[in-house]
Chains A and B, each alone.
Chain A
């Protein structure tokens, strides 16, 4: 699906007027809702972690922007994750209504890439600070 097509399906009106298919088993609807909420909490946790790193950690000696290097990407990714979680809730609910296969989620990939990337950046910052 193209980006403009994906955006069009996410508009509030398009969601409200999705009359295709039938109402799925309420348990599936509730499970989809819980999945969205769990990803939302994950996004909030990323924001908390980023803010805590920037504001509460002591500065890394020799790496003046070290804390921002670690914290700011986490906050930005938290916002991104929240938006993607909503997009996937819409896609899943539509698939449930139409009885189609559930679309593959890209969020585990985003989260894994984020954590791996932050681990690498942390190691670099700590090494730079230690070798100063």
Chain B
């Protein structure tokens, strides 16, 4: 990384497929966003068993994360980089902190469905 090179603009002289096509890195990243959205949905499903409203709130975050991942696939034409910056990561972080607080409330004050796995 001695000099900045535009994404996807490097000549295909190298044999490394990554070197020819940073789109692979973009695709892996896009899949990581999908996994993250699914993780939110899974947590929402668990909470749904305990508290329906809280579960629905957490489930609603999953499509938001999915949408953020979709946004990050749209790169700016000059750099090939996501057009949106650190805001996405702040949204994810804030979501997880909020979800943790909700989970804590549900865990401490939740209904007496204790022993659902009994």
Which A residues are closer than 8 A to B by beta carbons?
12, 15-16, 22-31, 33-34, 36-38, 40-41, 43-45, 47-48, 50-52, 54-59, 67-68, 71-72, 75-76, 78-79, 82-83, 85-86, 89-90, 93, 96, 99
Contacts and interface: CB of A to CB of B under 8 A. Distances in A.
Contact of A26 (B7, B49, B85): B7
B117 to A, nearest CB: 5
Given A26-B79, A34-B29, A47 B117 contact: no
B57 interface: no
20 contacts: A25-B5, A25-B22, A26-B7, A30-B25, A31-B25, A37-B35, A44-B42, A44-B43, A44-B96, A48-B42, A51-B103, A51-B107, A55-B110, A56-B50, A58-B118, A67-B114, A68-B107, A68-B108, A76-B100, A82-B96
A84 to B, nearest CB: 9
B107 A50 contact: yes
Given A37-B29, A44-B39, A78-B96, 15 more contacts: A23-B79, A26-B7, A30-B22, A34-B28, A34-B32, A41-B36, A44-B96, A55-B106, A55-B110, A55-B113, A58-B117, A72-B108, A75-B103, A86-B93, A99-B1
